[in-house]
């Protein structure tokens, strides 16, 4: 590959601030010099019923933060506000897919959470018990989570798009006593029969004693012997529940990862460390002010929703928008319509949603008033520079900084991002910039040695941080093996990255998604971004196929933008474009046009499936695949082309 790569050349073009990050540099330097003091200082922003004795108890690879300290997560999100002016402020502005809206003030949310905690208590749930929550994006979902937290129960939220098998696996893994669901959910105008899915799993989940069912869809459901209506239980519930003050290291929740690279893992987060991390990062990255209206588009079924819809914004007393439905329903304009309608000031979304909107052109977003926005954010995948530019210009009108936040379910909160609450630094489209203060992340080579600027390697974290997972549920050995065995003493996230001459970090995709072509290591991200920089291409996914001469051959699956036909000409044009942007080494061996790519339900491209198809291997776990039709289409496209080539 020609070096520096295209991604790298993009750097430094956008400068919206002349400051060069001195403030950030100083804070980060001090934080890493005395990390325990630094994090203890952050932890003081929380409400503790008992202060900790020790900041960090580090028995690698197990970290315990703020040992001896006691607190309650729901007190930190709610009780702390109800004696202040925030009491009557909107906590959640909820919008249903059908346009219906509901607003809950902090006081209203507080009352509901207290009542629900009492409901759980009455059903014999106590500290440490697990509760599976399988609900649509309704305010009752955070109410259920905070209700669990109030009594020290551990929630395990399962994304409401999952099938009975996926739900059953997660209930059994966590051995949950209670399942909370709804009579139905709504997605793209269609009813999702959640209760039916629960009923299907029920015979196979013996740990479950009770099922709580919220009325949402007006769907006719049968109540069995374990079932209770949410509203009936709430009617008799007392309005106040004394919070259970738990140890700082008490598990707050279990959450399964997206399954992009394999079988999902049950990540456990503690209470004090986790809350400290998400509180601090929200302050640094989003810089919430009293006028802000925060719109995080994630589903609460994923970690972004846990950390930056439920815990961090509520601890900060922020007002946030919670949206129930699909990004493109009824039209591919829904996020813009919501920004305009509710006056969102911060939008936090994903590259996959942006690529979808971009496919339909500028006219749609241009027809909305987006002037309330002051800050844009992205998470979930590397953002292609082309998409970043579109977000910056068309959505942010070149006014709003973009925070590209890199982190994982396992990290609990943001690890790399520009921190606008500290200072806005010059941005580089596609770079997540720097580690947040107190996080010791660097790029290393195969041997674990820090690499010089411009060299690709693996991102690692050299010291524990407060949001770090406690372990994997019931599997300390797997925890050790997945995250701590590749490099001695360093946490291994499994992502490929590089550090540029200015010290900016660039995430280059999954380490196991790297292609080795004729001795060169090519990041999937760089290749895909080069495809997406062609005017006709909306989305791209590349995979490698074993090749006897080159090691690996590059196979590309491309989704053309609206108005561009899939043709032989386009294929040639795209290949020429790749050769001119990345060099001949990156020439794809096969290019397939498809209408959609196989994605996880959290919207990430599942490259491992493409790789399996291209190499003729068995396709592994697909329980988290969003749309089975996408994989059929890819298989078909592959078969068709093979036939053409062979005949
Ligand atoms: P699994 O671990 O089961 O394969 P997953 O890694 O997709 O699933 P998540 O924890 O939801 O599950 O996602 C974290 C991953 O998402 C990161 O490791 C990284 O690959 C990617 N990611 C998240 N944010 C960014 C970002 N801003 N830039 C680049 N990559 C990102
Ligand atoms: Mg992962």
Give dist(CA 508, CA 7) in Å, integer.
10
User: Residue 596 pLDDT > 70, yes or no?
Assistant: yes
Q: Which residue has the tokens 């947040």?
A: 436
User: Residue 8 pLDDT > 50, yes or no?
Assistant: no
Structure-model confidence comparison of residues 530 and 633, the more confident one: 530
Percent of the chain residues past pLDDT 90, beyond the cut: 77
| Lowest pLDDT segment from 145-154, 233-242, 339-348, 627-636 | 627-636
Distances in Å between the alpha carbon of 364 and those of 535, 565, 621?
18, 21, 37
Helix ranges (DSSP H) in 538-606: 568-582
Per-residue pLDDT, 20: 56
To which H or E segment does residue 58 belong? strand 54-59
Write out the two tokens for 341.
């309608």
Give dist(CA 439, CA 646) in Å, integer.
53
| Span 340-360, average pLDDT | 96
Give dist(CA 558, CA 644) in Å, integer.
18
| Span 300-310, average pLDDT | 97
Give pLDDT tens digits for 570-590: 999 999 999 988 888 899 999
Task: Determine the distance separating the centroid of ligand 1 and the alpha carbon of 296, expressed in angstroms.
Answer: 17
Indicate the top mutation candidate among 257, 300, 524 to test ligand 1's pocket, ranked by most ligand atoms within 8 A of CB.
257
In the structure, what pLDDT confidence band is assigned to residue 640 with cuts at 50, 70 and 90? low
Task: Determine the distance separating the centroid of ligand 1 and the alpha carbon of 103, expressed in angstroms.
Answer: 32
Helix ranges (DSSP H) in 162-201: 164-174, 194-201
To which H or E segment does residue 418 belong? none
| Predicted model pTM | 0.92
For the chain, the first-to-last Cα distance in angstroms comes to 33
Instruction: Considering every ligand atom shown, identify the ligand nearest to the alpha carbon of residue 495 and give its number.
Output: 1
- Side-chain-side CA neighbours of 44 within 13 Å: the count stands at 6
Per-residue pLDDT, 171: 96
Give pLDDT tens digits for 34-93: 999 999 999 999 999 999 999 999 999 999 999 999 999 999 999 999 999 999 999 999
| Span 384-402, average pLDDT | 95
Q: Mean pLDDT score of the chain, rounded to an integer? A: 92
Indicate the top mutation candidate among 259, 300, 381, 524 to test ligand 1's pocket, ranked by most ligand atoms within 8 A of CB.
381
| Span 311-320, average pLDDT | 98
| Span 419-435, average pLDDT | 93
Per-residue pLDDT, 619: 74
- The rounded radius of gyration (Å) of the Cα atoms in the chain is 24
Q: What residue ranges in 106-239 does DSSP mark as E strands?
A: 130-133, 154-157, 178-182, 185-187, 190-192, 210-214, 227-229
- Side-chain-side CA neighbours of 499 within 13 Å: the count stands at 17
Please tell me the CATH superfamily of domain 514-646, with its number: ANL, C-terminal domain (3.30.300.30)
Instruction: Considering every ligand atom shown, identify the ligand nearest to the alpha carbon of residue 301 and give its number.
Output: 1
Exposure pattern of 366-386 as b/e (b: 16+ CB <10 Å)? eebebebbbbbbbbbbbbbbb
User: Residue 402 pLDDT > 90, yes or no?
Assistant: yes
Task: Determine the distance separating the centroid of ligand 1 and the alpha carbon of 495, expressed in angstroms.
Answer: 8
User: Residue 359 pLDDT > 60, yes or no?
Assistant: yes
Rounded to the nearest 5 degrees, what angle is found at the Cα of 459, between the Cα atoms of 18 and 267? 115
Report phi then psi at 499, rounded to 5. Answer: -110, 125
Indicate the top mutation candidate among 266, 305, 495 to test ligand 1's pocket, ranked by most ligand atoms within 8 A of CB.
495
600 CA: nearest ligand 1 atom: 7
| Span 172-176, average pLDDT | 96
Q: Count of CB atoms within 10 A of residue 119's CB?
A: 26
Exposure pattern of 427-446 as b/e (b: 16+ CB <10 Å)? bbbbbbbbbbbbbbbbbbee
383 CA: nearest ligand 1 atom: 28
- The protein residue with its alpha carbon nearest to ligand 1, atom 17, reads 408
Per-residue pLDDT, 601: 84
In the structure, what pLDDT confidence band is assigned to residue 603 with cuts at 50, 70 and 90? confident
Give pLDDT tens digits for 511-566: 877 788 888 878 888 899 999 999 999 999 999 888 888 889 999 999 999 999 88
Report phi then psi at 41, rounded to 5. Answer: -60, -40
Distances in Å between the alpha carbon of 313 and those of 66, 137, 465?
22, 16, 20
Report phi then psi at 69, rounded to 5. Answer: -80, 150
Give residues with Cβ within 8 angstroms of 385, minimum separation 6. Answer: 6, 7, 10, 429, 430, 529, 533
| Span 130-151, average pLDDT | 98
């Amino acid at each position: 590959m020609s070096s520096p790569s295209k991604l790298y050349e993009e750097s430094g073009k956008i400068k919206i601030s002349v400051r060069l990050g001195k403030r950030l540099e100083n804070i980060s330097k001090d934080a890493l010099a005395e990390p325990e003091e630094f994090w203890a200082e952050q932890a003081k922003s929380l409400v503790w019923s008992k202060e900790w004795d020790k900041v960090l108890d580090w028995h690698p690879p197990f970290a315990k933060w703020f040992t001896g300290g006691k607190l309650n997560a729901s007190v930190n999100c709610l009780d702390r506000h109800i004696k202040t002016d925030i009491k009557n402020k909107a906590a959640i502005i909820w919008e249903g897919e059908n346009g219906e809206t509901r607003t809950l003030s902090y006081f209203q949310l507080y009352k509901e959470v207290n009542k629900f905690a009492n409901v759980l208590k009455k059903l014999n749930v106590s500290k440490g018990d697990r509760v599976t929550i399988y609900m649509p994006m309704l305010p009752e979902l955070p109410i259920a989570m905070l209700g669990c937290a109030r009594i020290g129960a551990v929630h395990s939220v399962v994304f409401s798009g999952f099938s009975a098998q996926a739900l059953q696996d997660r209930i059994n893994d966590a051995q949950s006593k209670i399942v909370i669901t709804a009579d139905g959910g709504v997605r793209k105008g269609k009813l999702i029969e959640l209760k039916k899915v629960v009923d299907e799993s029920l015979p196979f989940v013996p740990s479950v004693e009770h099922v709580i069912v919220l009325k949402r869809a007006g769907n006719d459901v049968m109540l069995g012997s374990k079932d209770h209506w949410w509203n009936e239980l709430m009617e008799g519930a007392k309005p106040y529940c004394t919070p259970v003050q738990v140890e700082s290291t008490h598990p707050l929740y279990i959450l399964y990862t997206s399954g992009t690279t394999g079988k999902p893992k049950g990540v456990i987060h503690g209470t004090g460390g986790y809350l400290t991390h998400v509180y601090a990062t929200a302050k640094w990255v989003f810089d919430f002010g009293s006028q802000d209206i925060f719109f995080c588009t994630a589903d609460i079924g994923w970690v972004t929703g846990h950390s930056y819809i439920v815990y961090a914004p509520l601890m900060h007393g922020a007002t946030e928008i919670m949206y129930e439905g699909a990004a493109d329903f009824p039209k591919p304009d829904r996020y813009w319509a919501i920004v305009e309608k509710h006056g969102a000031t911060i939008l936090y979304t994903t590259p996959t949603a942006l690529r979808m909107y971009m496919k339909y052109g500028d006219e749609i977003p241009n027809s909305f008033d987006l002037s309330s926005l002051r800050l844009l954010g992205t998470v979930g995948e590397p953002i292609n520079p082309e998409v970043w530019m579109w977000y910056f210009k068309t959505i942010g009108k070149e006014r709003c900084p973009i925070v590209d936040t890199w982190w994982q379910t396992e990290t609990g909160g943001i690890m790399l991002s520009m921190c606008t609450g500290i200072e806005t630094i010059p941005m580089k489209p596609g770079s997540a910039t720097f580690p947040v203060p107190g996080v010791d992340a660097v790029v290393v080579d195969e041997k674990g040695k820090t690499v010089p600027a411009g060299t690709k390697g693996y991102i690692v974290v050299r010291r524990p941080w407060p949001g770090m997972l406690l372990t994997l549920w019931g599997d300390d050995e797997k925890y050790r093996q997945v995250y701590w065995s590749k490099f001695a003493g360093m946490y291994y996230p499994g992502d490929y990255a590089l550090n540029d001459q200015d010290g900016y970090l660039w995430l280059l995709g999954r380490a196991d998604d790297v292609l080795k072509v004729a001795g060169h290591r090519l990041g999937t991200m760089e290749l895909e971004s080069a495809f997406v920089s062609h005017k006709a291409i909306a989305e791209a996914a590349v995979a490698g196929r074993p090749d006897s001469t080159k090691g690996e051959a590059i196979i590309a699956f491309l989704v053309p933008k609206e108005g561009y036909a899939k043709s032989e000409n386009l294929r040639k044009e795209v290949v020429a474009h790749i050769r001119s942007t990345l060099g001949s080494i990156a020439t794809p061996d096969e290019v397939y046009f498809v209408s959609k790519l196989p994605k996880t339900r959290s919207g990430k491209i599942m490259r491992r499936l493409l790789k399996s198809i291209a190499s003729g291997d068995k396709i592994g776990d697909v329980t988290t695949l969003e749309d089975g039709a996408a994989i059929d289409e890819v298989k078909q496209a592959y078969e068709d082309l093979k036939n053409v080539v062979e005949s």
